[in-house]
Structure 1
């Protein structure tokens, strides 16, 4: 059984769920609108440029989770799914997932975005296996800190290696679909790397190495 791995943001989604969550909590005035938006946009630009400091970003973006109850966060997330995520779940992405499912492949989403944001999105795509950046909890509430290795750049490889060891899986005949140069470490390991609506750096690398370039838009 082959492993079909999908990045989430700007790959299966026609947008970035992490950045959109920041915009959502600004619009709902859950955070200070002006201050939070400026920093959220700056971190997003750092990510796009390939220079994001993931630990500094996580300290910023996870703090609002610690300031509200789990029940309130779930309610907000349901609204976020309706307003921000469902409209950007790409039909062609659903079809690609269906193709791999019909082939009997093991489906996985691997994403740097945290599990609070992404777990409901993975369920909406019908994918049970999710490797994401983990959010620490204590006494049923988020602490505002991450735990484990962030699922970002080389961290995706580390987290995937551990999962494969625990689940007796391998990368034989494996696929990975991603839009971002940040995912070059994992793209370089699989048998079938696919650049999906890629950023300029990833497109250049894919074309230079004869990788498939695909659009789901």
Structure 2
């Protein structure tokens, strides 16, 4: 009998996509970046109050487009004139001080379960790409897809390099990631808390909603999607589901 822990010949590659804010991490990662920037004297008390307001609202009612636009515009303005290297240093500092203690252990363990199956695990978030990549690297994940800020000669310009990775754009990014490979989204997985990610969740064959907002909870129940509340019994059920239903996979191959 073949070893169930090793990919079998011909097994299709699989990608698991994880949202970050309120799915992998309690709260918004950009708020913790703002706090670190304040400690370094890069932003004002007024700015940190604005980011704090966004954080409190996000935790209580979830994302909305107005909040996203406000936080995006101010974040880009604040980045202008600083280097990508500086943001990487800040992001690593923030991971150790603020993000790691606020990670949901249950969701992190699900990323491990997918990795053990041979799946690629990608973070997919509206947060800055550099910040998302630091989180992915520190957790040993495959990679990260995030909102890209334009740089010229290593310095941020205060403009975006592409769209904010939010809503439908996450589904677009997931399709772009697998373009030219033999990955089939019908075999892939996605995890999110937000109704804004319904396009991404719909694009994959296996979707798990994590501590969903009201709109996503309603949609998930109607669609028969798995709903995961972060408590011990639920996480055990989710792990068993991945072990039982997720196929062992081999790495993706690019088309010729």
Q: Same fold (TM over 0.5)?
A: yes
Per-residue deviation, 1:9:
1.2
Q: Structure 1 residues 140 and 169, CA, compared in 2 at 3 Å: closer, same or farther?
A: same
Q: Structure 1 residues 56 and 179, CA, compared in 2 at 3 Å: closer, same or farther?
A: same
Q: Residue 132 of structure 2 contacts residue 145 of structure 2 at CA under 8 Å; is this kept in 1?
A: no
* Structure 2 residue runs without a partner (length 5+): 1-12, 232-256
- Structure 1: how far apart are the matches of 2:142 and 2:77? 27
* Structure 1 residue runs without a partner (length 5+): none
Q: Would you say 1:157 and 2:171 are equivalent positions?
A: yes
Structure index of larger Rg? 2
- Structure 2: how far apart are the matches of 1:133 and 1:182? 15
1:129 to 131, 138, 143: 143
1:81 to 86, 95, 98: 95
1:39 match: 50
Per-residue deviation, 1:83:
1.4
- Structure 2: how far apart are the matches of 1:134 and 1:169? 24
**Secondary structure in 2 aligned to 1:167?**
coil
Q: Residue 63 of structure 2 contacts residue 194 of structure 2 at CA under 8 Å; is this kept in 1?
A: no
- Structure 1: how far apart are the matches of 2:179 and 2:122? 15
Aligned ranges 1:97-112 → 2 under 5 Å? 97-112=111-126
1:51 to 65, 78, 98: 65
**Secondary structure in 2 aligned to 1:143?**
strand
Q: Structure 1 residues 52 and 168, CA, compared in 2 at 3 Å: closer, same or farther?
A: farther
Give the structure-1-normalised TM-score.
0.87
1:20 match: 32
- Structure 1: how far apart are the matches of 2:145 and 2:63? 23
Moved over 6 A (4+): none
**Secondary structure in 1 aligned to 2:185?**
coil
Per-residue deviation, 1:71:
4.6
CA deviations 1:50-79 (Å, max 9, x no partner) are 233755543311222223344543433332
After superposition, the CA RMSD in angstroms is: 2.3
Q: Would you say 1:30 and 2:42 are equivalent positions?
A: yes
